[in-house]
Each structure stands twice: as structure tokens, then as C-alpha cells.
């Protein structure tokens, strides 16, 4: 009887114990992570309706954008005004080129706005994967302003606002469409400044011809030009003094001859 009673008790309480254990295990199991948001839907809510419509219309771009959200992605969606002004050029692209252009607007890494400011430099995009071309752009900071520069544009795109930011997905609005150089002509480099014109030398003054002055031979009176009258008188006396005795002898000669004749 005791064995029958014990068996009856086990039959009653054993299912209850198993059920309780199962309930505890279920309570301990972690909840499944929420599915990442639909990227194009988030773009629409953030004011990028035109760009989101282009992504949704491209099967390759749409599936790549959504699958990239599982591992982390940062997307840059141009504003509606920017897309509208770009549409004439967009319509001229092939289907593959359109998909590449759209995928060029995202990188396969999650960047918060703070980390984006500290990670300046060249970045690969979703268009790089599986392509023989680079399809990359350069992120730069101008003060607090984050900009994106491509080799096909003279002007850098500016980050306008945050559309969505929750790991593993970040979406930022831009003020212009990003143009990959793989699809568009590279921007022309600014022409170098013209070299300054050479300064003309000042006209040289004609050389003065120096004429050698040959002094005339001094004449008899040349030395007297700068002498005083008194000096001139002395000089004349000195010049005349040697000739004076000779003249006196010549004057006395006839007298002497006459005396000699009288005495004879």
C-alpha cells in the first residue's frame, strides 16, 4: 500500500516540478535583439524622401543598404532640394551606375557624430565592395562642421543634421549629392597664379664722355694773368736787368770812337 501511495504522489507532483523548471529556463533565456530599422523608412522620417525613393527603386541599392544595417552602417542622404537639382544628371546614368551612386552615400561602419569628427580621412563606401574601382571619399572637419569631399566636385558636402543615430545604424542629412569621380569628370584644379611680370630695368643714363683737356703751353704773359701789378713790375725789372749793361756799353761805344779819333 505504501508503494502504491508513493507512486501516486510522484505521478501528481512530477509534472508540476518539470513544468516549473521549464518556466525558469524560459525566463533566463535572453530576449532576441530588435530587428534593425528599415533604413529607407528612417530616411523618409528625417527629411530625405527623394533619396529614399531612389534607393527603394534600385533593387541592388535597397538590399545592400538593408543588409549592411546588420553589421553597422553610416548613411549620408542628400536633402530633397539637393536630389531634385541633381535629377537631370541622375537620369542619364545606367542602372548599375545609379546603384553605385546610391551606395556611394554609405560606409560599412557605424559612426556616431562624435566619432565621425575624430575619424577624418579617406573612407571606403558600400559601392567599393565588389567593384574594381575605389569609390571612396574624404571626411574632413572645418571647426565643428563635418564635410565630405570627392575628387569630382569643387565644393565639399556639409553635414546638415542627424536623421537617425542608434548603434548599429547612423543616418546624416547632407546639403548636396555626393559625386564619385568614377562616374563623373574630375573637378578641374585651379589654374596656377600667373607669374609676376619681370620688372623692367630703369633706363641707364648715357655715359658722360670725358674730354681730356690739354693745357696750352704757357705764353710769356700767361704766368702774369694771376699776379698782382707789383709782382708784375718786379718780374719786368728782373727780366730787363741782364740786358741793361749791354745797352749802356753800346750807347757809349760811339763816344769812345770819337774820342779816339780826336786824339789821333
pLDDT of residue 217: 47
Residue 157: pLDDT band with limits 50, 70, 90 = very high
What predicted TM-score, i.e. pTM, was given to this entire model?
0.61
Q: Which helix (H) or strand (E) holds 41?
A: helix 39-45
Q: Which residues contact 82 (CB under 8 A, 6 or more apart)?
A: 174, 175, 176, 177
- Would you say residue 26 has pLDDT above 50? no
pLDDT of residue 136: 95
pLDDT of residue 206: 56
Residue 223: pLDDT band with limits 50, 70, 90 = very low
CA distances (Å), origin 50, targets 83, 169, 177, 237: 6, 20, 11, 129
**Least confident piece of the model among 56-60, 161-165, 183-187:** 183-187
CA distances (Å), origin 74, targets 69, 115, 239, 259: 9, 11, 124, 157
Angle 241-245-247 from CA coordinates, rounded to 5°? 105
Phi, psi of 122 (to 5 degrees): -75, 135
pLDDT of residue 133: 85
Amino acid at each position: 500500500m505504501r508503494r502504491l501511495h508513493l507512486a501516486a504522489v510522484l505521478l501528481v507532483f512530477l509534472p508540476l516540478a518539470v513544468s516549473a523548471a521549464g518556466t525558469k529556463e524560459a525566463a533566463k533565456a535572453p530576449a532576441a535583439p530588435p530587428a534593425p530599422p528599415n533604413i529607407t523608412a528612417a530616411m523618409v522620417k528625417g527629411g530625405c524622401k527623394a533619396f529614399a525613393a531612389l534607393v527603394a527603386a534600385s533593387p541592388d541599392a535597397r538590399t545592400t543598404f538593408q543588409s549592411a544595417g546588420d553589421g553597422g552602417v553610416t548613411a549620408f542622404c542628400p536633402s530633397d532640394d539637393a536630389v531634385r537639382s541633381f535629377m537631370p544628371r541622375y537620369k542619364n546614368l545606367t542602372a548599375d551606375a545609379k546603384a553605385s551612386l546610391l551606395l556611394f552615400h554609405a560606409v560599412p561602419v557605424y559612426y556616431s557624430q562624435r566619432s565621425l569628427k575624430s575619424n577624418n580621412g579617406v573612407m571606403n563606401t558600400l559601392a567599393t565592395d565588389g567593384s574594381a574601382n575605389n569609390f571612396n571619399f574624404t571626411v574632413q572637419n572645418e571647426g565643428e562642421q563635418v564635410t565630405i569631399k570627392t575628387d569630382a566636385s569643387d565644393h565639399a558636402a556639409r553635414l546638415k543634421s542627424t536623421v537617425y543615430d542608434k548603434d548599429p545604424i547612423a543616418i546624416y542629412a547632407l546639403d548636396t549629392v555626393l559625386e564619385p569621380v568614377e562616374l563623373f569628370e574630375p573637378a578641374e584644379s585651379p589654374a596656377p597664379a600667373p607669374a609676376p611680370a619681370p620688372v623692367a630695368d630703369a633706363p641707364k643714363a648715357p655715359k658722360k664722355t670725358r674730354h681730356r683737356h690739354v693745357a696750352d703751353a704757357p705764353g710769356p704773359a700767361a704766368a702774369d694773368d694771376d699776379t698782382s701789378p707789383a709782382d708784375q713790375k718786379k718780374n719786368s725789372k728782373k727780366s730787363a736787368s741782364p740786358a741793361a749793361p749791354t745797352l749802356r756799353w753800346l750807347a757809349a761805344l760811339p763816344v769812345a770812337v770819337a774820342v779816339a779819333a780826336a786824339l789821333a
